[in-house]
Structure 1
């Protein structure tokens, strides 16, 4: 009797509405295409570009200010190690970092100042190098990182992930060789962020929800970057009207590749064993099957424990500042160096030249310009988008930018996280998986692109 009353309470109308209404709003904000001033896009794109139109002059200055705070704060904490930083989770995460990352932040801040004031040679701050990165790329990221941090809880914190994950569990194990509860990780990556999905996977592996092989499959096959970042990429390469097709292509490509990778080397070489310190109770319960009613209960329980609007806004702001302080200086340095090398040296053309015959065979327009972007995604997923922005062919821009997302493994974030975690993957395995993903993804994306553009 107590169990039935508890289920009735969990599935009560107020809790169902508390789960349903925010989830629907999240779907409308992130997943449903609308016609906007810049062409068809999702609601976050419409809101983001409205903000940029109103504050275009302030955004580059804001980016530089954030990089200065990031660098100066990290240097101060490194020298003085104040207790008020050590005892604060957000400040500790944002500012207690290694000497290498302090150097990266300092270089990013110096670059930002030089670009704003046009100091030094023009190749440093020009409109095709540092100026492009600061005024267009980072200004866009600043806005979309903020909006994603504020509004993604509508998708992630009110039960949608739990409900959909429960519905997926019956196909994940036989088809993708991963357990049903990994649906939460997958959806958190697709709707939230690939790095978040990777962190969740590592923690779930340590607790005993996955074996080492299952954790490796999830981290290298399903940790796709967020919807909001894909919107940034699509808008940056001048294809906002293609976003629904772009994201559909990326997801379908990853799902197709996911049918193959778990069944071949190097993933098959990873022991299918649980973490040595895994909770034995969790391991014993891993075979339990969940029904739709159980999924609804999990969803409403999640909604019932979700924070109120004020707390949710506070968490969103903290997340936005954390992302700004950590990632904006890194992107500033990597993207600026890449653009300077692309503009002043032929290094990327040399690197891409062996791929030109392959791209030509696939009948990709402007193969010489596209080739350098094919393998640069291993360094950072945004570099191919930066390099292909000047390509005239919309089809080629679509292919290279979609490929950079579907490649999934990039060392500036996900690769480093995997190697630092307990997931049993090393650098050479990650490089092998990146190459295999690239070889498989390219013809799939070309087929999608031909359907859209020809």
Structure 2
């Protein structure tokens, strides 16, 4: 790295004619260290595995467990406050119709569409029913709403706290630009996509599926991606983050094997990403652009090699970042957005999904054709695993919540890993895609979900048989 900041290299790694935003001289050196140190901290928090308390985990997992233990039973009251404020705030905005600035915090948190308002209403009703133990067993039973209230939410609240506040170290100080540029040729050859999409993928892997998807939607609207490219990226690279993957692993009881769990998901996602763009319905999408023509130019300037351009982009991004106080202030806003926007939806969809699983045969009927395949793959408790896998279309947490009662750890490993690699879940990713300008309908999304499930099953089961 140091060779890149020598005097002889300065004209190359700080060429104002190419990129006026690139820092020079001492500013270059300071920004390089900023990129290296903060990115290293992000990698340490989210990626590097180590042995802790008898299990292999990541630093984010250790911090989450510690905060979860410290909060203890008070987390129930925190959840009640979050879901109640989420609904009451949205109701107040709907009734009072205040004039809100586009960038105001109130608008971001509480000015929601009717679909999400309904989800917040159901979430608020369900959480109070469960807390007070008043209402139908379908909602308040320990195996339905109780699973959300007592098992999932106590993990999510501390996890979101650390993950959202520390995420900028991984995503905002140049690491994504550096890795995205280096990965560009791979994405073009393997996935038939612009190299720029590497950054979208990393937004998901390191941040959240919705973050990567929002980036994709914006890039499509700007005509950087064609309809086909945007559809492929949205349904192939909107993978849930490392942090969410840890939640699934912990919920379904395979967090003691988290490194192999995540590596299996990465391998499966990689293979599926090669296959999916080459088969219908994604292969049938047209290479047309939102504005009528492509606006993307990914050429690396002639005076840069690829590693130099990757480093230049990374250092420039680090240089452009504001103070840590401003970064954490922005992250705090995102944290409240996640708390108020996502947790009520989890209560609404999760409780209904678990209620249907516990009290009706709906998922058994839908998943019946899947049972022979699971048996052919020699997956233990195939009849119990099949409904959990189909539930992933409604919400990515449902397979873990239902699958946690399966006795076979191998089967739980397979169910949990599949729930991540399926990608399409209507509570978040599916809903965002339907609201976007990317022309994918519910039937196409369900077809993609089924195809990804079948591909994932074969790969994950093969790995699981080696591990177990």
TM-score (norm. length: structure 2): 0.92
Q: Deviations over 1:414-451 (max 9, x none)?
A: 11111211123222221211111111111101011111
Corresponding residue of 1:452: 467
- More off after superposition, 392-401 vs 201-210: 201-210
Question: Any stretches of 5+ residues in structure 1 without a counterpart?
Answer: none
CA deviation after TM superposition for structure 1 residue 277, in Å: 6.0
- Shift of the 276–50 alpha-carbon distance from structure 1 to 2, 3 Å rule, reads same
Return the alpha-carbon distance in structure 1 between the equivalents of residues 321 and 41 of structure 2. 15
2:43 to 8, 27, 40: 27
Return the alpha-carbon distance in structure 1 between the equivalents of residues 298 and 328 of structure 2. 35
Question: Any stretches of 5+ residues in structure 2 without a counterpart?
Answer: 1-7, 16-22
CA deviation after TM superposition for structure 1 residue 207, in Å: 1.4
Return the alpha-carbon distance in structure 2 between the equivalents of residues 4 and 345 of structure 1. 66
Residues 353, 394 of structure 2: 8 Å contact kept: no
- Shift of the 267–347 alpha-carbon distance from structure 1 to 2, 3 Å rule, reads closer
Return the alpha-carbon distance in structure 2 between the equivalents of residues 132 and 431 of structure 1. 26
SS at match of 1:231: helix
The structure richer in helix per residue is 1
Return the alpha-carbon distance in structure 1 between the equivalents of residues 78 and 249 of structure 2. 23
- More off after superposition, 221-230 vs 27-36: 27-36
1:77 to 69, 74, 93: 93
CA deviation after TM superposition for structure 1 residue 17, in Å: 0.6
Matches within 5 A, 1:10-89: 12-37=28-53, 39-83=55-99, 85-89=100-104
Corresponding residue of 2:173: 158
Residues 206, 277 of structure 1: 8 Å contact kept: no
Return the alpha-carbon distance in structure 1 between the equivalents of residues 388 and 445 of structure 2. 19
SS at match of 1:35: strand
SS at match of 1:371: helix
SS at match of 2:57: strand
Residues 399, 419 of structure 2: 8 Å contact kept: yes
Corresponding residue of 1:208: 223
Residues 25, 154 of structure 1: 8 Å contact kept: yes
Matches within 5 A, 1:275-354: 275-276=290-291, 282-283=295-296, 285-288=297-300, 291-354=306-369
SS at match of 1:6: coil
Return the alpha-carbon distance in structure 2 between the equivalents of residues 430 and 176 of structure 1. 19
SS at match of 1:408: coil
Residues 38, 240 of structure 1: 8 Å contact kept: no
Return the alpha-carbon distance in structure 2 between the equivalents of residues 443 and 5 of structure 1. 46
Q: Deviations over 1:4-26 (max 9, x none)?
A: 58347178321111000011111
Q: Deviations over 1:13-49 (max 9, x none)?
A: 2111100001111111111112223722111010001
Residues 13, 312 of structure 2: 8 Å contact kept: no
Residues 150, 313 of structure 1: 8 Å contact kept: yes
- More off after superposition, 360-369 vs 350-359: 350-359
Residues 1:6 and 2:22 are matched in the alignment:
no
Q: Deviations over 1:32-82 (max 9, x none)?
A: 112223722111010001101111211111011111100000000001112
Return the alpha-carbon distance in structure 2 between the equivalents of residues 227 and 4 of structure 1. 35
Matches within 5 A, 1:129-144: 129-144=144-159
Return the alpha-carbon distance in structure 2 between the equivalents of residues 121 and 89 of structure 1. 39
Residues 1:255 and 2:263 are matched in the alignment:
no
Return the alpha-carbon distance in structure 1 between the equivalents of residues 103 and 45 of structure 2. 32
How many residue pairs were aligned? Answer: 449
SS at match of 2:424: coil
Return the alpha-carbon distance in structure 2 between the equivalents of residues 441 and 245 of structure 1. 15
Return the alpha-carbon distance in structure 2 between the equivalents of residues 147 and 288 of structure 1. 36
Corresponding residue of 1:360: 375
Residues 1:223 and 2:238 are matched in the alignment:
yes
CA RMSD of aligned residues (A): 1.9
2:440 to 425, 430, 439: 425
CA deviation after TM superposition for structure 1 residue 3, in Å: 5.3
- More off after superposition, 329-338 vs 343-352: 343-352
Return the alpha-carbon distance in structure 1 between the equivalents of residues 190 and 178 of structure 2. 20
Corresponding residue of 1:128: 143
CA deviation after TM superposition for structure 1 residue 371, in Å: 1.0
Residues 207, 277 of structure 1: 8 Å contact kept: no
CA deviation after TM superposition for structure 1 residue 356, in Å: 1.6
CA deviation after TM superposition for structure 1 residue 148, in Å: 1.2
- More off after superposition, 347-356 vs 262-271: 347-356
Return the alpha-carbon distance in structure 2 between the equivalents of residues 350 and 275 of structure 1. 40
Residues 1:189 and 2:197 are matched in the alignment:
no
CA deviation after TM superposition for structure 1 residue 214, in Å: 1.1
SS at match of 2:183: helix
Return the alpha-carbon distance in structure 2 between the equivalents of residues 13 and 288 of structure 1. 22
CA deviation after TM superposition for structure 1 residue 288, in Å: 4.6
Corresponding residue of 2:261: 246
Q: Deviations over 1:218-271 (max 9, x none)?
A: 111111001100000000111111111111111111110111111121112111
Return the alpha-carbon distance in structure 2 between the equivalents of residues 408 and 331 of structure 1. 16
